[in-house]
Structure formats: C-alpha cells, structure tokens
Amino acid sequence: MADLDELALPAPGQTPRRILTIAGSDSGGSAGLQADMRAFAMLGVHGCAAVTAVTVQNSLGVKAFHEIPVDVVAGQISAVASDIGIEAAKTGMLASTAIIETIVATWRAERLDGAVPLVVDPVCASNVGEPLLHPSALDAMRDALIPLATLVTPNLDEVRLLVGIDVVDDETQHDAARALHALGPRWALVKGGHLRNSPVSSDLLFDGADFYRFAAARVDTRHDHGAGDTLAAAIAAALAHGHTVPEAVSFAKVWVTECIRAAYPIGRGHGPVNGMARLSATKGDR
C-alpha cells in the first residue's frame, strides 16, 4: 500500500487525522520533530508537537541541547489530547528519565493507553553518535515507556543498548526481535539499516507469534539524517488512517526508501533524507 492515494487524504475543509509527535527540535531542520512534521504534512495528517528538548544543531552535529521542563512537556500532551484529539502518536528524542516518566504518566492520565496507537522510536543518539538520551534514562525507556508502545522501532545500536544483543545476521536479528517483544510492546521492529555489510536494508517485525520481513535495496548516501524519524512518522501516519501495523510498516519502508534515494546535501556535513521526495517525483512526472 505504498500509494499515497490509499492514505485517503482529507477533502478541502475536512478535518484531517491528527497525530502527536513527542520529540526534540533539530535547529538544522533535518531530523527530530521537523522531520516528523514534514512527513505528517506530506501524508495529509495534521501534526501536533510536544517538544521535549531543543537541540543546537546543524549538518555538522549536535552542539548542545536544552531539556524542556517536565510540566511543560506534560502540558503540551494534555492540551492536545483534551481538545484536538489524536489518532496516533510517536516519540523521538526524550533526553531524560524525568521526561520519559512524565510522558508515561500523562499518557495514562489522559486515558490514551490502549486507545491510541503509540510508535516509540527509542532515540539514543544522533546519526553520527552524539548522545540524545542520558544513559541513565535507558531503564525508564525499557521498563516504563516501551511496554506502552504499539510498536517500538530501534536501530541496531539501540537494540544493543536496550537488550544487549549484537545483531550481525538473520539469526541474531530474530533473537533481538524476541527480546524486544518480551519488554512488552505489542510489536517490535528491528531495523537492519545499520548492517553495513548487507546489500539490502532489511527490517524484521514481530508480534510475539509471527515474523514479517521488509527489505529494500540499500542506498549508499552520507545524507541519511532523519531517516529513522521519517520511518516512524510515516508508520504513525498510516496507523492514524486505520491501517494495521504490518501494512503501516510496509508502506513506511517504501516511503522512507524514496526519501533516502532523494536525500540532498546541506551545509558542510550530513544532509537530510528528503521528506519532500514525493513532491519532486510528482513534478517530474508532469
């Protein structure tokens, strides 16, 4: 269903599906909530944003970040949930134990648990390895937030930090999916994009019973900033439209691969995946 038409875009004047991203800001506009909002707009959903941290960042890296006070994080989530309403949510950079615990408490207090699909992208570091989560917050991510998730979407570095498994092949990817699922999410997606020796980027989805594979040809580019964010945001958008998790992952994998193929340089460092790839494709078709 990697077809935009199947996401049932809203008619003019019709309220679109609403999605909440709970994530950090990237001043460079490549990753974080900026990437999420771009994906949401391109997929015809109304994006709301609860900001957890503000990074000082450009294409050369993350210089610093400032955490948003926990009452402001909670306030943003409650303000959106109590008025605008949401049909799906995703989390990205969460920075600290206090922020994670606040999100969990607010999610429950607003009675969103079990009612609204939640995609947890357990962001620990930037694409070049700068920390975006205090190491001490891993326990809260693993024990408090991931059990609330409809789907958790770690890359291989995050898999190692969360469940201590070094994914090097198909067998260890299956082991990792089982270990992640045992943490309590409804579904676990072990992304294989960081398995550099493989000609394909192959992700493995598991619901405790069945495994599903989603593979795409590896795209060799240094401009991959925001790839994980864009994938998780596209999954959340498809879930908000009522698609199942395997359908949503299948759609989002094709979507993000298009964005990676169309990635562009920016500044002097790593450029972003092109979240607007579909716009240029449409224009080129004319």
Footprint of ligand PXL (CB under 6 A): 23-24, 26, 31-32, 55, 57, 62, 92-93, 123, 126-127, 132, 226, 228-229
Nearer to ligand PXL, 57 or 202 (CB): 57
| Least distance in angstroms from the C-beta of 26 to ligand PXL | 4
| Least distance in angstroms from the C-beta of 128 to ligand PXL | 8
| Least distance in angstroms from the C-beta of 156 to ligand PXL | 14
Nearer to ligand PXL, 91 or 243 (CB): 91
What are residue 218's phi and psi, to 5 degrees?
-65, 135
SS3 156: helix
Nearer to ligand PXL, 20 or 62 (CB): 62
Please give the Cα distance from 31 to 45 (Å, whole number).
18
Nearer to ligand PXL, 229 or 241 (CB): 229
| Least distance in angstroms from the C-beta of 286 to ligand PXL | 32
Nearer to ligand PXL, 106 or 153 (CB): 153
In whole angstroms, how far apart are CA 196 and each of 4, 155, 188, 217, 239? Answer: 30, 12, 21, 12, 29
| Least distance in angstroms from the C-beta of 272 to ligand PXL | 10
Are residues 33 and 24 in contact, defined by beta-carbon separation less than 8 angstroms? Answer: yes
As given in the structure block, the two tokens for residue 96 are 């600290």
Chain position whose Cβ is nearest to ligand PXL: 32
Neighbours of 191 (CB within 10 A): 27
Spatial neighbors of 145 by CB under 8 A, at least 6 apart, are 91, 94, 100, 103, 104, 120, 122
